[in-house]
Amino acid sequence: MSEFEFKKRKRPVSSVSYPVKGEAGKTGSWRTHRPVMDVSKCTAAKKGELLCLQCWMYCPEACISKTAPPKIDYDYCKGCLVCVSVCPTGALEGVEESEAKEAMD
């Protein structure tokens, strides 16, 4: 393949994989902790634009929406809390699943 043909491709061949929501089925029941968002701290929510979105980018299960504000699909969230660790504004917090369910009732 020539250099020209390689550059012409829409997506170059690489070893990068992309997460797919629901690949392993609904996995939310595995969770011991859930990420909870404080919308008042979220950059995307404050500005109403697709800014930051570190949580969406690093979610290994693709269960955070690319919207302002981002929404978490708890049916598929495994509770790894990667989103909590990468959020630069502290808008996400890890809460024990039992406490989160009590708060929702």
List, for residues 59-99, the tens digit of each pLDDT value. 988 999 999 999 999 999 999 999 999 999 999 999 998 88
Ramachandran quadrant class, 98 (left: phi over 0; alpha: psi -120 to 50; beta: rest): alpha
What local confidence, expressed as pLDDT, does residue 80 receive? 93
Residue boundaries of the structural domains of the chain: 28-104
Q: Give the class (CATH, top level) of 28-104.
A: alpha beta
Alpha-helical regions (H) of 1-105: 3-8, 43-47, 54-58, 82-86, 97-104
Q: pTM for the whole thing?
A: 0.73
What local confidence, expressed as pLDDT, does residue 26 receive? 81
- The amino acid at residue 89 is T
DSSP states along 66-95: SSSS--B-TTT-----HHHHH-TT--EEEE
The 8-class DSSP code of residue 53 comes to -
Residue 3: count other Cβ atoms within 10 Å of its Cβ: 7
16-52 tens-digit pLDDT: 566 666 666 787 788 899 999 999 999 998 888 888 9
What local confidence, expressed as pLDDT, does residue 29 receive? 80
Name the residue with higher pLDDT: 11 or 31: 31
